[in-house]
Amino acid sequence: MNAHPSLGIGLAGFGTVGSGVWNTLERNGDLITDRTGGNVSLHIARILVRDPAKTRTATGTVPAEIFTTDWLALVHDPAVEIVVELIGGTTDAFDLIAAALRARKPVVTGNKALLAERGVELFALSKETDTPIHFEAAVAGGIPIIRTVQDSFIGNRFLSFYGIINGTSNYILGRMTDAAMSFEAALAEAQALE
């Protein structure tokens, strides 16, 4: 039995990454709690899926009652205190994240396409509701650069960053260099691997 409160996560999407989040919390929940100060543990309170009957790769038993196909049910569930968006795309993901921010529930996303197309709107809504949207997983292949810049370089003024901060671009340029491929061939190969 936990001696500290537990923070409920609403997991929107339960494919490879969503199942990985579940598995990580199952295996390393106590370690994560200890490394984050030991005051609060994390648990998955609700999981949004398209097809609840689909076979999943999660370890352990995921209680059937925490699955939903209704993203509004996930956002408005009082047990969900943080929303983790893993569904991808730009339409449903935008609606889900906007609703979560309006409900004043912090959001975590790695959705590059959504941030590129509608990030300005989401960041404005985040500011308006004073509710954070965390997106470090969408930048630099998940390298923790945003937190590093915010916390470790507070005395510096950055005017810009230059570099390739996308795994697909790195792959394409690497294949063009290492295998002397044309851009078109490397792009086609990268798209086939997605």
Contacts of 19 (CB under 8 A, 6+ apart): 56, 57, 58
Ranges of the chain with pLDDT below 50:
1-2
What pLDDT is attached to residue 91?
93
pLDDT at 151: 66
Q: What is the pLDDT of residue 194?
A: 65
Q: Which CATH superfamily is domain 6-151 in?
A: NAD(P)-binding Rossmann-like Domain (3.40.50.720)
Find the helix or strand (DSSP H, E) in which 7 lies. strand 6-12
Q: For residue 64, what is the DSSP state?
A: G
Alpha helices in 36-111 (DSSP H): 71-76, 92-102
Domain ranges for the chain: 6-151, 163-193
